[in-house]
Amino acid sequence: MTKLLEAFADGLGRGSVYALIALGFVIIYKSSRVISFAQPGFMIAGVVLVTYLVQVSWLGFFGAMLLGAVLIGLLALGIERAVIRPMIGRPIFAIAIITIGLDIVLRTVAHAYIGPLVRHVGDPWGTSQLHLGSVRMDQRHLAAVVTATVLVLLLFGFFRYTRMGLAMRAVAEDQEAALAQGVSVGAVFALSWALAGGLAAVAGSFAAAGVSVDNTFWPVALYALPVIILGGLDSLPGAVLAGLVIGVLRSLADAYVDDLSWLGENPSLIVPWLVMMLVLVVRPYGLFGTREVERV
């Protein structure tokens, strides 16, 4: 039982990271119907930036993370303005391919700043654990859960109560009608990229807490793909819930590795992808996604 609960707690920490990255995918998808494959690039750029920022002692981990998120958000905004905006109205496929190119560029540049050694985000919690009865939970996981919760609440409040949030929801539903009301669709696109970039940087910082950052770190962001498929491409609550589900499933697979030996030696690596395949077969629009009716 303890093992199960510990795996669960561990999974929530992991899942929060996935949820934050997935939210970035969903926000961009909702505003422009493009799946931006540049998210891993923004994440690794954010992580590397944070590893440098934590060296400024008075910032601390959270200060470095927030500053890093803002800077990566601005970078994403600039990239959207320069590279993506001129492509609006072109086929979605072409834009998606451009984001793959962007991802490679971002990753290459970020990896160049990692240098020959591994880097660390300061490791504020190390391996210290929290004891809740007999259940132990890593403090870094708890911090990830708390931060993700706060960010998600802020985000939902933003979409629900602010003028710009309302504009973003309107553009997600009917771009032309939103334009006709005087909404600046360009500003909505820019903001969605900035939010996605910032979220990726925060997620990366937590994924890197307690581990070292090298040029094999970025695939963490790829787990957002099963998450958005499971949750539904255009659902924010879906991204959060599916993020936690995928995180927990991975941790369970780690905890019960012996029972899953038929899946190979490291089942937690493939469990998310198995879930994704299953979802695509059974319910391709995900748990909360809009069912698309398309005439062929």
Partner 1 sequence: MLQVHNIEVVYDDIMLVLRGVSLSVPPGRIVALLGANGAGKSTLLRALTGLLDVHHGKITRGRVTLDGESVGQLRPAALVRRGISQVMEGRRIFGELTVEENLRLGGYTNPKQFRRRCELVFGLFPVLAQRRRETAGYLSGGEQQMLAMGRALMAEPRYLLLDEPSLGLAPRLVEEVRELIVSINRTGTGVLLVEQNATMALSIASHGYVLETGQVVLDKPAADLLADDDIREFYLGLHPAGAGGGPERRSYREVKHYRRRKRWLS
Identify which of residues 3 and 160 has a Cβ nearer to partner 1 in the complex: 160
Q: Compare residues 58 and 93 and give the one whose CB is closer to partner 1.
A: 93
Q: Which residue in the set 182, 216, 291, 293 belongs to the binding site for partner 1 (CB under 8 A)? A: 182
Nearest to 113 by CA among 161, 180, 45, 39: 45
Using CB under 8 A, pick the residue from 176, 265, 292, 294 that binds partner 1: 176
Q: Does 33 contact partner 1 by CB under 8 A?
A: no
Q: Is 294 an interacting residue with respect to partner 1 (CB under 8 A)?
A: no
Q: Within 77-96, which residues bind partner 1 (CB under 8 A)?
A: 89
Q: Which is nearer to partner 1, 159 or 256 (CB)?
A: 159
The stretch among 99-107, 179-187, 251-259, 262-270 that binds partner 1 (CB under 8 A) is: 179-187
CB nearer to partner 1: give 70 or 166: 166
Q: Does 127 bind partner 1 (CB under 8 A)?
A: no
Residue 259 lies near partner 1 (rule: CB under 8 A): no
Residues near partner 1, by CB under 8 A: 89, 163, 166-167, 169-170, 173-184
